[in-house]
Structure formats: C-alpha cells, structure tokens
Structure 1
Amino acid sequence: MEFFIQLVINGLMLGMVYALIAIGLSLIFGVLEIVNFAHGHFYMLGATVLAALVTSAGIGFFPSLVIATVAVGVVGYLVYVVLLRHFREGEFDRGIILTIGIGMVLQNGVAYLFGSSSRMVDTSLSFVSWDVAGFFVDAQRTVAVLVGAVAIAALYAVLTFTRIGKAMRAFAQNREAAFIVGIRPAVIAGIAVAIGIALAGLAGAALAPVFAVHPAMGAPILFKVFAIIIIGGLGSLPGALVASLLIGVTESVVGGYSSVALQDAVAFMLMIVVLLAFPAGLFGKGIRV
C-alpha cells in the first residue's frame, strides 16, 4: 500500500506538469480554434532557454524560470502577429500545416544555435528529496508542481475575475456576439496565444533540471498532451486539468507495476476507451472555456 501511495503521489506531480502544457494548448484552441502542433516545441524552447541561462550565463534557477517563461511568451505573441493573425475561421487544415512548420523551424533553429546533443541542468535542488509523512518526494519535481499549481490558479483568476479573461471566454463561446459588443478579436486572440505558449514554456523551464534538454524533446510530450485534451474535451480547461492528473496517476501506477513501454501507451489506450464512452471527451460541450 505504501508503494502504491508513493506511485499515486508521483503521478499527481507528473499530471500537474502535464496540465500546465495541456491547459495552454486548450486555451489556444478554445479562443482561436487552432490545433497548435508547435506547442511541444515551445515547451522545448522554454527548457532550452533556462538551460542556457543557468549553465552558460550562471543565472539562478528561479530568475531563469521567469525570464524563460516571459521570453517564450513573447516569441509566441510574435508568432501570432506575424503568422497566426492572418488565420481565418474554418481553415483547419491550413492551421495544422502552419503550426507544424513553426514547430520544425523552432526545433531546427534550436539545434543550429545550441547543438543537438542532450544537456543536463543542475540546480541547488537537484538530487534532493524531502520526507513528507514517510513518503519521499523529489524536491525539483515538487517545485515544478508548485509552479504549475500557482500558474493554473493565476490563469483561473484571470479568466474568472478580469475583463480580459471574461472577454476571452466570451470570444470562445460566441465570436459574433463578442465582436458586436466591442471585443477586439485580434487583441484577445493575441493575448490568449501568448499566455498559452508561455505556459508551455514555463512547463519546459520548470522540468529542465528533471529531464535531459535537447531539440527533439517537444515531440513526445506533444502527442501525449493531444491525448490529454481529447480525453478532457477539446477546448475545455477543467477537462485538460482532470485528464492530465488522470493520465499522470495512471502512467505512474502502470510504470510501477509493469513496463516502461506499457506506461507510454497508457495515455492513448485511455483515450480510446474514453472516446468509446464519451465521443466529445469527458468535458466536451459547446462552451469550451
């Protein structure tokens, strides 16, 4: 039982980080109706920027975390202004091709600038474990979970209590009505893309000291996050959170009692089962945000 509880704790920690990436992807889809196939590469970009700041510039982990998140968010906003702003509703195929191309540019650009070899990032929390009520938790992963929880709570507060957040929700629910009452689509979409991509960068930066950093690290996480948002329901932020925690715990338990190969297949097996019972996902409804 103690081993099982330890696996559940590890799974919840992993699921919270998944949620940070999935919620950003869901936010972009909910507002702009674009499936961002470059999302995993922005996760990779956040990890790469933090690795460069910590290992090359000698900046501390937490300042580097903030800088990397802001930098990736700015890059995301520029991508929207230059490319995604011209995307029109209904051009689903064009959006897929465009974001795949953006991802390829990011991956190869990072490989050209920083090299394609894997790098490890060491911080003061590396190789440190804390004993909490008899269970051991990795300090670096715990920090990543806390960062993710704070970011998700902040996003919820923005969407619920601020004018810009309410405008995003209104725009996602009914574009025509939002435009009639004076909401500017370009402004709202740009902010949503910047926030969603910044969350992916934050996740990558927070996990850079945990996993090896390399240009191809975005692709595996991207497909898993797609499975998560499909399970939760496309465009549903609560669905992305619940599905992320569900996948994280399931992967951890399966990996603890079985093989790593089966662990990687869990997300897609669960996706098939959920879609058979709930074709729109667990929280798939007309209102997405």
Structure 2
Amino acid sequence: MAATATASLARGTFPAARHPRRVYPRGVAALAARFQESRRVAAAVRAARDSQPVDDDDDESARRAEMTYADLPSVPGGSVLDCSRAYTVDIPRAIVADALPNRGVLQYVRLPAEEYNVLDSSAVTRIDVGTFRVNAGAQKILMWEIEPVGTLRIVPTDDGCEQILLGAVMNDVKARRTGKESVVIKAMNASLKDLTMRNAVSAVKSGSEGGTAIRCQIDVAGTFTEGPFAAAGSQRLCAMLDWCLRSVLPWFLEQLAADYADWASGKTRGKRAVNVTQVAGEILAGGKGKLPPGVAESAVERR
C-alpha cells in the first residue's frame, strides 16, 4: 500500500492546499491572534509599513510576513501535540463481488507505495526495503515557494499496513534562486523535525451485512520547543490539527474507494479530473462534520 493520507498531508497535495482560501478554523484564527499580540511583531510590521515600497508585490508581502513571523513569542516548555482521528468508507458489495482474482480490499490496502494511484506514483521513490520518499514538487502557498518532502516506512499488518512518517521537510524553493533563506520556512522545519505521524490503513467489516470497508486512522504527535508549533501552545495546536484531520480524511477516503473500484475491475487508473471549488467545499464540509456518502467516523484505537 502506498503512502496514504499521511503522505498526502506531508506533501500538501490536496487541492485545497494548492489553492488556499482565507477561511480559517477558530484554532488557526486564535493562533494568528496570538502572534499579533507580540509587541516586537507589531513593531516589525510598523517598520515594514513605513519602509520604502518595492515593485514586486509578492516580494513586499513576503518581506512583511518574514518580519511578522521571524520572532514568534515563545511558550515556556513548548507545546505538546496528541491528536488522532479515524474514519471508514464502505466499499459496495457489487464491486467486491466482481473484483478480479487477488484484487480484494485487503490486497488493495497492502499495495506497494509506488502502485498507489490517489497520489502521483512518479513522486514516490523507494529508498530502502519498505521505505519511501514522497516529493510533492514545488508549490506556491501564499507568498512562499516550498517543496514538501516526506520519508515514510511501510509496515505490513494482518489487516493492512501502517505508514510511519520518519521525517518531513519543506525545501525553500525561492532560496535556491535568490540565495535568501526564508525565516518562516526555517521556523516551520524547526517544528517539523519533532513531528511524529502514523497512518494505519486496514480492511475491515462494514456496518452493512457482509460488507467491507477501508479504515484509516491517523495519529499525530510531538513535543515542540522550536518554531510556530512551539509558539502555538498545546491547546491551540491540537485544535488546529484536529480540524485538519476532520476536514481532509473523509474526502481522502472517498477517493480511496473510487480508486479501489478502478483497481479491482482492472480499469486504467490515471489522475482524476478535479473540480477545485467542489473539492474545497467538500473538505470544509468535513471540518463541520458533514461526511460524504459511505464515510463514517470510527472510534480511535489507542496503541
């Protein structure tokens, strides 16, 4: 089984991440407010506003943002993150019954990473037995240009597999051209080095008689003493990550079910056409508890 939602989150490949909208959950808004409370941050913003303007709006926005986020207020002891969410998606019985030999749901969730179609398989590189590097490619998010890269270890289990994040980094694409390192990206990487993430994907029985479902549970944790995760505070950080998982996981499982249907029948699997507006709406709806058809929340299983 290839990198699933864990890789996707590490890569930032969801359409909503490529086309961000300025609609934030309460946790994120509170985090932004906390940053703005810092007197030194306010002084930096005023200095940026009073400075001589430049021609490039992106460069000016980036410069001000760098000054705003470069000196985040510290939280004594840092922040502790412990957040888990789990969902299932039902697979129609007809699809399982008509599947080609050796193409059941269990075989699907055990596919090697490079054969996984929800993600771009060309971005998955096997670096060792059971270990893969996932590169999302260069992406522009607001005024920053980043290249998210994650390293995953895939561990087979009786009913599927576990995908464990070994490390994640945001490469500074713009710095390669300009030689100017972004303090924001540097701060994010300081936080990411302490992030742990596990995605357990399994084939399970669904609520319907004799039905089968795909279950996905993501556990995100870490103790952060550097960067924006440390500055956020435990309560706000957990609230923000919980919202992200509630928003993205239901949509992702819906994509898994569609991909399994193609794989089980032997159809050619390629990149699906995406209506960005529709996807963004579905992801935001997930954050509000409105789930796609066939998707249900599952009790978190503690290790």
TM-score, normalising length: structure 1: 0.28
Compare relative contact order (CA 8 Å, sep 6+) and give the higher one, 1 or 2: 1
Structure with the greater alpha carbon radius of gyration: 2
User: More strand by proportion, 1 or 2?
Assistant: 2
Which structure carries more helix by proportion? 1
